[in-house]
Amino acid sequence: MSDRASSGQYEDQGLPALDAWLGTALASPWQAVSRLIPDEPDLISRTLIELVDELGCDLVLTTGGTGPARRDTTPDATLAVATREMPGFGEQMRQISLAFVPTAILSRQVGVIREIDGHAALILNLPGQPKAIRETLEGLRDAEGGVKVPGIFAAVPYCLDLIGGPYAETRPAVVKAFRPKSAIRQPAAG
């Protein structure tokens, strides 16, 4: 979500960063459907509805528009189309960002589920900057490369399982998906 990038004033960096990160993190096949739109609440809500209800997306990741500025309306538009809120995602995104900047408390990022006609999707509002997108999804590592603070994507595959979405596998070197032992499937052959 960006007024200036959607109008061509500058090149959007959020979508390419998100696609690149997903390409390194996901071991399962996946397909991206991208939209670059201005920070207009009604348009954001309509776009989220299109992605979930019409195109059948199981996971929708937004970038940008999550601050306190008047034009930052992504969380409001997301909540407007939600069936259920998933507050832990927003809490963890702010926790990760607080390791870098005290203004992380100004973020209004949310995670929600939208369910319609038996199909459910997880919608997550991410920051707009490429570095912050990666940190939020992947988490924070210590000097030895161990996970210091888990990123939110560690919980995404299991959440998708629970809402009836596809079984998503990750590359543990990037982000290790967490599932209880009873929910782990054998890796796909091939």
pLDDT tens string 45-100: 999 999 999 999 999 999 999 999 999 999 999 999 999 999 999 999 999 999 98
Handedness of CA 171, 172, 177, 181 (dihedral sign): positive
Cβ proximity of 72 and 63 under 8 Å: no
- Phi, psi values for residue 42, rounded to 5°: -65, -40
Question: Tell me, what CATH number does 146's domain have?
Answer: 3.40.980.10
Residue 186 lies in a domain: no
Cβ proximity of 138 and 17 under 8 Å: no
Residue 84 lies in a domain: yes
Residue 188 lies in a domain: no
Residue 95 lies in a domain: yes
Residue 24 lies in a domain: yes
Tell me the pLDDT tens digit for each residue of 112-150: 999 999 999 999 999 988 999 999 999 998 899 888 889
| Domain that residue 102 falls in | 3-181
Number of domains in the chain: 1
Output the pTM of the full model.
0.93
